[in-house]
Amino acid sequence: MGDKVGFIQLPQRPRPVERGGGRGPQHAPPARPAPPRGRDARGTPSVPGRPGAAPRGPAFAATEAPTGEEITLKPPIIVRDLAEQLRKKPFQLIADLMELGIFATVNQPLEPEIAQRLCAKYNFRFKVEKREKGGGLVHAPIKRKEVVDSGDKPEDLKPRAPVVTIMGHVDHGKTSLLDVIRKSNVVAGEAGGITQHIGAYTISFPHPERPKELQQITFLDTPGHAAFSSMRARGANVTDIVVLVVAANDGVMPQTLEALSHAQAAKVPIVVAVNKCDHPNANPLRVRQQLQEKGLVPDDWGGDTIFVDCSALTKQGVDKLLENILLQAELLELKANPTRSAKGNVIESGLEPGGPTATVLVRKGTLRVSNTVVCGPYYGKVRALINEEGKRLKEAGPSVAVKLLGLNGVPEAGIEFDVVESERIARELCEQRTELERGEEKERRPRVTLETIIDILDESSAKVLKVVVKADTQGSVEAIVEALQKIESEKVSLEIIHSAVGTITESDVVLASASKAVILGFHTRIDTAASELAKREGVQIKLYAIIYELIDQVKEAMAGLLDPLLKEVVFGVAEVRKVFALSKGGNVAGCVIASGRIVRGKARVMRRKNLVYEGIIQTLRRFQDEVNEVRAGMECGIRLDGFDDFQPGDTIECYNIEKVTQKL
């Protein structure tokens, strides 16, 4: 929202800020109808946070042109932040907004011109700072100068290695190709190999035009496209080039198209690796035709997309693929400033015996051991930087991926990290972010009124099975969701709270835990960290390979939510013939078993078809022996727990309560 607000208000910002003093307050009203799309016509108090309406009445009409100190804020301009800058309590600003006919909360964003009017009332000059594209964290109020990203000078920029993400359909050979590329690392050679997988690694390869010059390439080995899309959603395109792996024997599959749409949405150059060219059914030409229909025209057909035929099995074409990646990177002229404080993104994160770890990719600057890092709501001093070979590094420059130890929590994949000056600043910043997130969560909670309380109580008593669906392909996800939605039941409802392609991750477990849901996986795997978190949180994860099994078990689970029907089963009746008094107190009923069998358990005494007592058989004797069961036609002595008032002619019924599962 921040970028959007800044963009819309850009044409009218100079008028009130720069020339407000010269024009005087009498010229302020005509400036209001200026914004496009007729917002003045439809700005009503029922749309808080989009205050485009003109103030009703002379609320701030007599305000002089402000001469006090200048306040600078980036959009979104939150009421709480503005109050802090004006050194006022948030409720004072809320009262001022009500005078303008705007009903807002402390966590609500304001339009710049409304913020300007509030500042003018308290004699502050107000200036909107335009947010850089992808700059800052989307969900944090960045108020400190230490984290504000300043532009780098051209003379400080140095060439950096390209960051490459390999994407494609399941079983099209992404992992095999990555293994072969890893072994083509000229520096590592054949010795040692990689002992520790960190989700990213850098290789050195000779430049195709300058064979003596070794160039570096950083590969991101992200499972699925979740991390890729979450990074993009946060405004950070960490990938420079996407390698789209397509099997020559299978051609374009649903997940190939999904990967393609991710890459195209990120506006990243695509290199197509046509893998499995050694397969007997390989048809690289068909792959080119299928992708041409999707807008990827091969370079040898006059287009601008590089296609490389290769095989991870025979290693054919792998060197050519790496050379083309380096040539593509040279065209992009990738540069970064290595001297500034580091900034980058989390690729993977987890909890290990030593504490929280995060694999981070440095985009700008140099990350050093003992730097203080802020990463979302977490912070910490960098205790160690470990590369893909398990070696400890003192520093990591641009385009280098390392495992970082020292954070006080596990950050989300894709989130941005910054280096700040001190631990105090980091702590304050994280507290602000946590407070803002808490405030936003409160805002999202439904308000309860007398009118809605009955509905809420009814909803809570309704039986709902909540599920998270993860599958290997988009086609599978859609098929499962469609099949689940067709399950009809008046007694139980099914709610699919999330469905996506890819591995079952920690975020899925957190979502399921918060929603009290079950995770259903189809042809997919569970992350180790997700499995451990699921055990801690008590979240059930079920994996399936056959779609019908999944649907049937969901139906059974829905039926299992229903309270079972209680059914009473009488399996024996005894008739009391004589009552015997015991020397130590109490009576025993001498009985003949009329039908069925009498066992120890629940029993009731009936007298002339009326219920007299209900309890448990304390002792069951045949002659002098304690027995567990007496069958029809036999005699026995029965003593009930807490009842002695037997009379000849009473009947003792032995019964059990069975639970019968309800059907949908």
Euclidean distance between CA atoms 595 and 573, whole angstroms: 5
Give the separation between CA 622 and CA 188, rounded to whole angstroms: 86
Q: Say if residue 388 is exposed, middle or buried (CB neighbours under 10 Å; 0-12, 13-18, 19+).
A: buried
To the nearest 10°, report the CA torsion of 253, 258, 264, 268.
Answer: -90
- Reference 220, options 233, 203, 236; nearest CA is 203
Euclidean distance between CA atoms 657 and 431, whole angstroms: 56
3-class state of residue 219 by DSSP: strand
CA distance 40 to 51: 9
Contact 546, 495 (CB under 8 A): no
Residues 6+ apart with CB under 8 A from 490: none
Please, are residues 520 and 479 in contact by the beta-carbon 8 Å criterion?
no
Half-sphere exposure for 443 (CA within 13 Å, toward CB) = 14
486 vs 492: CA distance, rounded Å: 13
CA-to-CA distance for 286 and 125, rounded, in angstroms?
64
Answer yes or no: are the C-beta atoms of 220 and 204 closer than 8 Å: no
User: How many Å apart are CA 91 and CA 621, to the nearest integer?
Assistant: 80
DSSP secondary structure code for residue 353 in this structure: T
CB 169 within 8 A of CB 253: yes
| Peptide linkage before 446 cis (omega within 30 of 0) | no
Alpha helices in 66-189 (DSSP H): 79-86, 90-99, 112-121, 174-183
Closest CA to 339 of 397, 390, 383: 397
Q: Which of the residues are catalytic?
A: 171, 174-175, 225
Q: What's at 628, amino acid-wise?
A: N
Cα–Cα distance between 237 and 221 in angstroms, integer?
A: 15
Alpha-carbon span 47 to 104, nearest angstrom: 9
Residue type, 518: V
Token pair 């490389």 in the structure block, residue = 308
Phi-psi region of 585 (alpha: psi -120 to 50; beta: other; left: phi over 0): left
Neighbours of 239 (CB within 10 A): 24
* CA distance linking residue 150 with residue 131, whole number of Å: 11
Q: Which residues contact 298 (CB under 8 A, 6 or more apart)?
A: 272, 288, 291, 292, 305, 306, 307
Sorted by sequence, the CB contacts under 8 Å of residue 470 that are 6+ apart come out as 477, 499, 500, 501, 502, 503, 504, 508, 519, 520, 521, 522, 524
Q: How far is CA 615 from CA 217, 432, 631, in A?
A: 79, 62, 20
Give the CA angle between residues 77, 447, 51 to the nearest 5°.
30
Phi first, then psi: give them for residue 363, nearest 5 degrees: -95, -45
